[in-house]
Chain A
Amino acid sequence: MTPRWREVRARLRGMRRAKRPSWTTVAGNVYQTLLYTVIIGGVFVQVLRSVLGDLLVPPSTGTQYWLGAATALLGLALVLRVLPALGPVTVGPAAASWLLAAPIDRGSFLAFRYLVVVAGGAVAGAAVGGAALLVGLTADLPGAVGLVVSAAAVGVLITALAVWAQVRRGRERVLVRTAGALTVPAVVGIAVVVLLERAGAAPRAPSGGAATEALTVVAVIAVVVAAVAAVLGRLRLRGLDRTAVTAAGALLAALTLSVGFMDGSITTGVSRERRLQAIGTVRSARRLRGSRRRALVLADLRRMLRARTALATAVALPVLPYLASVVVPPRVVPIAQLLGATLAAGGLADGLRAVAASRGLRRTLGGTNPELLALHCVGPAVVAVLWTLLVAPAGGSVLSLVLVPGSALAVVVRFATRPPRTYGGSMVDTGVGLGPLPVGMLVELSRGPLLFVVLAGVQLLAG
């Protein structure tokens, strides 16, 4: 007789109950986690508020409004992009091995996971709405409530869409392309608003009453649509096969490891592998010619042109310093330039990272280590220089034209040549609830960011 999921669940719960820790232990853990989250989060928010409070020069209300709208669009595009990569409905290896092989109703089995995912989508959406609220999309309370509710509903809708995409392979491309399509108007919108503000022709915000009314109507419609979509998504769960619900397992495991070991490279490595597997086949470019050095540089440039997301990010990032030029004092703009240049060049420094990380690759390519590293710096350096020229009108002195690309390249190299993380050696207790941490690991963690902070200070002094 085929067991029902409810019976299987009851049996599993019964077995787990025996191994479950006492409620006092659980309560203690929850209390400790909440306490440290509140302490660390509070310190972070206080620092952010004091820094931003000193720095921020709010632009006109109209500019704030449209920046808020663009932020909301950008955030939703991000949710749309991330959710399919994370499943969204996922089961672990044990459940995949035992429960998915059993003839139980898959819809019921996955229902609770789906509920969690939908709740996560709502929270992510609400967070995007909150971010837009902070930027200045609306000021009055009914409008703010309408905005957050709308955003949460859109988060639920996107989650249901992601489940729809998960049922059949290939559909996730629709969501990814939609995310890309939403990103373009959001970035262009920010650019236009910033340019208008700089030109002294700031756009106007819709009148308060009209905006609030519109948001209220949108919220009602969004909640209804989201509810229908959530129910339809629940009905689709039966169609999810084993591959669909386990595909994101490696990425989620990498995410967990990254958090536990404070090493983001674990996640980026898995994510990169998935991206390359998704690309699969390429049209091999014309054969390389010329000297060894020319061949290595050309191959690196070829790789950079193949990294479409990093290229698109580099193209979109100039918005950052121009945006900074209307919300922070001019002396701070070069730091935004440095940040953008570092992100743009760093995103396209896969070749440098590969050569720096792999002794085997260096040995195979021949030559000396400094030569190989230098040749793979050429591409990121060109990007940093071109990028700096593009954002030069946003602010900064003539000296910045040299300092920004030079500093950005230095930070990129510093990150790329970071040695493998070590978890041994002397330990130190940071006193913030993270327990004893290896000193070596803290030094390694600070290797890139510390240089960035120092060079940002230099930028600040140089103006």
Chain B
Amino acid sequence: MSGNAPKKPGQKPVRKGVRKRVEPDRVVLDVREVSKAFDGQAVLDRVSVRVPAGSAVGVVGPNGAGKTTLLRCVVGIEVPDSGAVLFDGEKRAETDPRFRADVAVLVDDLDVFGDLSVLEHLDLLACAHGVPDARAVVDAVLDDVGLTESADHLPATLSSGQRRRLALASLLVRPRRLLVLDEPEQRLDTAGRAWLVERLRAEKASGRALLFACHDDEILHAVADDVVRIGE
């Protein structure tokens, strides 16, 4: 693994390895030398990532390099062959309710109750996570992601881009300390990507940690404090 920030015009080359720009109080996510192979074929080879609070780490690499596998190992969908994933300095299972309460994940496709409307789904998530003023939060997020007019729609009727917005909204209506996102820019239009940049920066500013895989250099430049390159 090597770590590099995307180059901007006039920017100095960055050194390899994980680099901290934001000096955090603590590291929220610490991935230590994680390796994973499928059918004897190594996909991840001793990858290490540290994501402090209030910072964002981007994961880049060509298709099939193992970006999604890394994120799946981080959130417990895959079990690493070796290495460790520490959250707040300790190993946590994906089924641990504390882990589920703190980590908002967008890795696989959208998982929703198909028979609840967009509004009802977000409302349920907010209530399930004990958000005090769920109604106001849901309304704000709906407005933020541009789904207010589709609030009464069932997810099956949403367009691909709208489903992506709903998936992102599902992360935003609930408390979170770490966001793990797999290509969050997917299927978003230009305005949606601009919104995403602002939103992710706001997440960082409010002290949350971000680990995200991304193919969009502009988003990486704008959001990532560090970049982990895989498969290059």
Q: Please tell me the size bucket of the interface on B.
A: 35 or more
Determine whether B22 belongs to the interface, using a CB cutoff of 8 Å to chain A: no
Closest Cβ–Cβ distance, residue A294 to chain B (whole Å): 8
Closest Cβ–Cβ distance, residue B123 to chain A (whole Å): 5
Chain A minimum-CB-distance residue to B139: A287
Determine whether A358 belongs to the interface, using a CB cutoff of 8 Å to chain B: yes
> Which interface residue of A279, A366, A367 has the most chain B CB atoms within 10 A?
A366
Given the interface pairs A292-B129, A292-B130, A366-B129, the reply to whether A281 lies near B157 with Cβ below 8 Å is yes
* A361→B124 CA distance, assembly (Å): 12
Determine whether A4 belongs to the interface, using a CB cutoff of 8 Å to chain B: no
Interface 0/1 of B110-125, CB less than 8 Å to A: 0111111101100111
* A284→B122 CA distance, assembly (Å): 11
Chain A minimum-CB-distance residue to B76: A363
* A299→B112 CA distance, assembly (Å): 13
Determine whether B64 belongs to the interface, using a CB cutoff of 8 Å to chain A: no
Give chain B residues whose Cβ lies under 8 Å from the Cβ of A296. Answer: 124, 127-128
Q: CB distance A282 to B152 under 8 Å?
A: yes
* A306→B114 CA distance, assembly (Å): 11
Given the interface pairs A299-B124, A303-B116, the reply to whether A360 lies near B129 with Cβ below 8 Å is no
Interface 0/1 of A289-331, CB less than 8 Å to B: 1101001100100110011000000000000000000000000
Q: CB distance B119 to A284 under 8 Å?
A: yes
Give chain B residues whose Cβ lies under 8 Å from the Cβ of A288. Answer: 123-124, 127, 134
* A360→B107 CA distance, assembly (Å): 9
Give chain A residues whose Cβ lies under 8 Å from the Cβ of B215. Answer: none
* A231→B221 CA distance, assembly (Å): 67
Closest Cβ–Cβ distance, residue A361 to chain B (whole Å): 4
Chain B minimum-CB-distance residue to A306: B115
Within 8 Å by CB of A360, from B111, B123, B134, lies B111
* A272→B114 CA distance, assembly (Å): 9
Q: CB distance A361 to B153 under 8 Å?
A: no
Give chain B residues whose Cβ lies under 8 Å from the Cβ of A354. Answer: 113-114
Q: CB distance B115 to A307 under 8 Å?
A: yes
Q: CB distance B100 to A292 under 8 Å?
A: no
Interface 0/1 of A349-388, CB less than 8 Å to B: 0110010001111111111110000000000000000000
Q: CB distance B123 to A281 under 8 Å?
A: no
Determine whether A283 belongs to the interface, using a CB cutoff of 8 Å to chain B: yes
Closest Cβ–Cβ distance, residue B104 to chain A (whole Å): 8
Determine whether A453 belongs to the interface, using a CB cutoff of 8 Å to chain B: no
Give chain A residues whose Cβ lies under 8 Å from the Cβ of B105. Answer: 360, 363-364
Q: Please tell me the size bucket of the interface on A.
A: 35 or more
* A363→B72 CA distance, assembly (Å): 13
Q: CB distance B113 to A366 under 8 Å?
A: no
**Beta-carbon contacts under 8 Å, A261-279 to B:** 272-273, 276-277, 279
Q: CB distance A284 to B115 under 8 Å?
A: no
Chain B minimum-CB-distance residue to A274: B156
Q: CB distance A365 to B115 under 8 Å?
A: no
* A276→B114 CA distance, assembly (Å): 7
Closest Cβ–Cβ distance, residue B131 to chain A (whole Å): 10
Chain A minimum-CB-distance residue to B171: A364
Chain B minimum-CB-distance residue to A371: B97
Q: CB distance B123 to A287 under 8 Å?
A: yes
Given the interface pairs A295-B124, A296-B128, A303-B113, the reply to whether A363 lies near B156 with Cβ below 8 Å is no
Give chain B residues whose Cβ lies under 8 Å from the Cβ of A273. Answer: 114, 156
* A379→B56 CA distance, assembly (Å): 42
Q: CB distance A279 to B154 under 8 Å?
A: yes
Give chain B residues whose Cβ lies under 8 Å from the Cβ of A369. Answer: 95
Q: CB distance B119 to A365 under 8 Å?
A: no
Give chain A residues whose Cβ lies under 8 Å from the Cβ of B107. Answer: 360
Q: CB distance A368 to B95 under 8 Å?
A: yes
Given the interface pairs A359-B77, A367-B97, A368-B97, the reply to whether A285 lies near B115 with Cβ below 8 Å is no
Give chain A residues whose Cβ lies under 8 Å from the Cβ of B170. Answer: 364
Interface 0/1 of B172-203, CB less than 8 Å to A: 00100000000000000000000000000000
Determine whether A280 belongs to the interface, using a CB cutoff of 8 Å to chain B: yes
Given the interface pairs A287-B123, A287-B135, A295-B128, the reply to whether A361 lies near B154 with Cβ below 8 Å is no
Q: CB distance A284 to B120 under 8 Å?
A: yes
Chain B minimum-CB-distance residue to A294: B127
Give chain A residues whose Cβ lies under 8 Å from the Cβ of B127. Answer: 288-290, 292, 295-296
Q: CB distance B108 to A361 under 8 Å?
A: no
Within 8 Å by CB of B115, from A303, A359, A360, lies A303
Give chain B residues whose Cβ lies under 8 Å from the Cβ of A276. Answer: 114-115, 154-157
Determine whether B81 belongs to the interface, using a CB cutoff of 8 Å to chain A: no
Closest Cβ–Cβ distance, residue A368 to chain B (whole Å): 5
Closest Cβ–Cβ distance, residue B75 to chain A (whole Å): 7
Determine whether B94 belongs to the interface, using a CB cutoff of 8 Å to chain A: yes
Interface 0/1 of A184-204, CB less than 8 Å to B: 000000000000000000000
* A354→B116 CA distance, assembly (Å): 12
Determine whether B219 belongs to the interface, using a CB cutoff of 8 Å to chain A: no
Closest Cβ–Cβ distance, residue A97 to chain B (whole Å): 22
* A152→B101 CA distance, assembly (Å): 60
Chain B minimum-CB-distance residue to A280: B157
* A331→B221 CA distance, assembly (Å): 74
Besides A276-B115, A284-B120, A366-B129, 4 other A-B contacts (C-beta < 8 A): A299-B113, A303-B113, A350-B115, A351-B113
A interface with B by C-beta (< 8 Å): 272-273, 276-277, 279-285, 287-290, 292, 295-296, 299, 302-303, 306-307, 350-351, 354, 358-369
A-B contact pairs, 15 of them (CB 8 A): A276-B157, A277-B154, A279-B154, A281-B152, A282-B117, A282-B152, A295-B124, A303-B115, A360-B105, A360-B109, A361-B112, A365-B100, A366-B97, A367-B128, A368-B97
Q: Which 9 A-B pairs have the closest CB atoms?
A: A360-B111, A295-B127, A276-B156, A361-B111, A284-B119, A366-B100, A288-B127, A284-B117, A299-B124
